[in-house]
Amino acid sequence: MKQKNVILMVVAVGCGLVAAFLTAQMSAKPIEQMEVVVAAKDLPVGTMLGKEDLKAAVKIVKRPKEGLPPTVVLNPEELVDKRLSRPIRAEEVINSQDLSKGGVITLPEGYHMVSLQLGAGQAAAGFVGPGSRVNVHATMRLGNKIEAFPLLVDMLVVAVGTETAYSKEGTFPNLNMVSFAVQEKQALLLSLAKSRGCNIELMLRHPGESIESDKAFNIDEVIKKLSDEKNPAQVTGAGESTPKGKSGEPAEPAPKAEPPAKETPPAPQQKPEPPPIPMVKVLVAKSDIKPNTEITADLIREEFEEATLPKQFAGGALGDLNEALGQFLRTGVAKGQWVTPGMVGIQSPKSSPPPAEPKPAIEPPKPAEPPKPAEQPKPAAPVAKRKTLDVTLHTANGTVVHRYEELASGKWKKVAELTPERANQGEASEAPEPPKGDRKVD
């Protein structure tokens, strides 16, 4: 009887397990799948996907919907004329974030590409974009005057940053780089203007409209404008070279014939573009700051502004003055000058008056001397006070004030080199306003 009960219990448990398994299978939901685009083979970074390349590069497969990113590519047509921003392995799902809008840059025949570091404020508030035509304007100091002139005219913009087409918004408010299609001589002219410290801005031209100043533009005249006696400038390597003989001397001109034979000039060799001048961002003073001024957050915010300068001049400047909070500007800062580590420190001690000399002991009175006859004072000859002129020079090693004295009208002579403290304390006469016009400095 006991054996029979055991058998019945085993059968009952088995039937229950089978019923539970069948119930679970009937109530389970099927796994939802969807068609997505995956790589048919390994695709390296930078691969440009054309319409004719889609069959060999990608394929459509079914993958479980759960776990797929929301930006997965579902239609292969979304990949046309897109470039991969990262390598993708075979059978890997392609994400829209792995694609960039930048296509291949096509330059006109005989042109190359050069880029300028410009902000939206220098590029028509960001409305300059690929395909635009612009004039490149430059502003620089020439002698005693500041002159603005067109550096290049009717230039084709081929890219803004890494974008080769306009975005949906139609502007580039955060642009920091603009690329142009240029000839070699134009590229060298841009490098020359940057080395001379020109302030460069872009003027967006009206589509299809010509400007009268374009007819008078001459690139050779612009090169001359960037040159002076102290800083001679020229652009070399952009023209055709003169053929030479075997000995290195200029070859003799070929005899003329009737009719003259036409020779195909050799193609000019392309020279590598000169490296860009490294620039750094530093804080410069908006106005003169007195020595022993404490560095505070308000001082940094109100008295300093950010400027971009060549690294070879301002490489030793402090980029962040917040690190020097609580310290003092020992030597003071002139307008337009940046701060170097040697100018920051503890407050310079004020010069104390020399100790008083001890009074001599009381001496017996000396016998009175007979009074001398009063001398008639001679009239003092008037002394003409010469004009002086202070010229402040800012370098990476500090600030030096050169003092000049006017010998004659328009003729000046250097008489002293002073520090800003000595110039401010009035150890020499204060410089008057220099006369306008040309001045000759010895």
* Whole-number pLDDT of residue 266: 56
The reply to whether 209 and 283 lie within a common domain is no
Query: E-assigned strands of 40-177?
Result: 48-49, 58-64, 82-84, 99-100, 112-116, 133-142, 145-160
pTM of the predicted model as reported, rounded to 2 decimal places: 0.35
Read off the pLDDT of residues 180-218 as tens digits, 9 standing for 90 and up: 889 888 888 888 888 888 888 988 888 767 777 777 888
Whether 436 is covered by a domain: the verdict is: no
The reply to whether 194 and 135 lie within a common domain is yes
> Is the predicted pLDDT of residue 274 greater than 80, yes or no?
no
Q: Which region among 141-150, 256-265, 282-291, 404-413 has the lowest average model confidence (pLDDT)?
A: 256-265
Whether 151 is covered by a domain: the verdict is: yes
Whether 366 is covered by a domain: the verdict is: no
Whether 354 is covered by a domain: the verdict is: no
Q: Which region among 5-19, 30-44, 236-250 has the lowest average model confidence (pLDDT)?
A: 236-250
The reply to whether 122 and 190 lie within a common domain is yes
Mean pLDDT of the chain: 75
Residue burial 183-215, b: 16+ Cβ < 10 Å; e: rest: ebebbbbbbbbbebebebbbebbeeeeeeeeee
More confident residue, 343 or 152: 152
Read off the pLDDT of residues 287-344 as tens digits, 9 standing for 90 and up: 888 888 888 888 888 888 888 877 766 667 777 788 788 888 877 788 888 788 778 8
DSSP line for 279-348 = EEEEEEESS-B-TTEE--HHHHHHHEEEEEEEHHHHTTS-S-GGGGTT-EESS-B-TTPBP-GGGEESPP
Q: Which region among 108-122, 225-239, 280-294, 428-442 has the lowest average model confidence (pLDDT)?
A: 428-442
Whether 416 is covered by a domain: the verdict is: yes
| Cα atoms in the Cβ-side hemisphere of radius 13 Å centred on 202 | 33
* Whole-number pLDDT of residue 199: 86
* Whole-number pLDDT of residue 271: 57
* Whole-number pLDDT of residue 241: 35
The reply to whether 81 and 188 lie within a common domain is no
The reply to whether 119 and 205 lie within a common domain is yes
Q: Which region among 132-141, 288-297, 427-436 has the lowest average model confidence (pLDDT)?
A: 427-436
Read off the pLDDT of residues 86-124 as tens digits, 9 standing for 90 and up: 788 999 999 887 777 655 566 778 888 888 888 888 888
The reply to whether 51 and 18 lie within a common domain is no
The reply to whether 149 and 208 lie within a common domain is yes
Most confident range, picked from 13-17, 278-282, 422-426: 13-17
The reply to whether 55 and 15 lie within a common domain is no
Whether 294 is covered by a domain: the verdict is: yes
More confident residue, 233 or 31: 31
Read off the pLDDT of residues 26-60 as tens digits, 9 standing for 90 and up: 655 567 888 999 999 998 866 778 888 888 899 99
Q: Which of 210, 227, 244 is the last residue in one of the domains?
A: 227
* Whole-number pLDDT of residue 437: 44
> Mean of the pLDDT values across residues 238-264?
42
- Environment class of residue 31 by beta-carbon count within 10 Å: exposed (0-12), middle (13-18) or buried (19+)? exposed
Closest CA to 198 of 272, 122, 113, 139: 139
How many separate domains does the chain show?
A: 5
The reply to whether 120 and 202 lie within a common domain is yes
The reply to whether 410 and 332 lie within a common domain is no
Nearby residues of 216 by Cβ (< 8 Å), 6 or more positions away: none
The reply to whether 91 and 192 lie within a common domain is no
Read off the pLDDT of residues 361-382 as tens digits, 9 standing for 90 and up: 555 566 566 666 666 666 655 6
Count of all residues that appear for the chain in the document: 442
Cα 438 from Cα 442, distance rounded (Å): 13
Nearby residues of 267 by Cβ (< 8 Å), 6 or more positions away: none
Cα 304 from Cα 302, distance rounded (Å): 6
The reply to whether 118 and 219 lie within a common domain is yes
Whether 249 is covered by a domain: the verdict is: no
| Sole residue written with tokens 């685009």 | 37
Q: Which of 227, 242, 259 is the last residue in one of the domains?
A: 227
Residue 331 belongs to domain with CATH number: 3.90.1210.10
Percent of the chain with pLDDT over 70: 69
Structural domain for 406, as ranges: 388-421
Whether 232 is covered by a domain: the verdict is: no
* Collapsed DSSP state (helix, strand, coil) of residue 176: coil
Q: Which region among 266-275, 383-392, 396-405 has the lowest average model confidence (pLDDT)?
A: 266-275
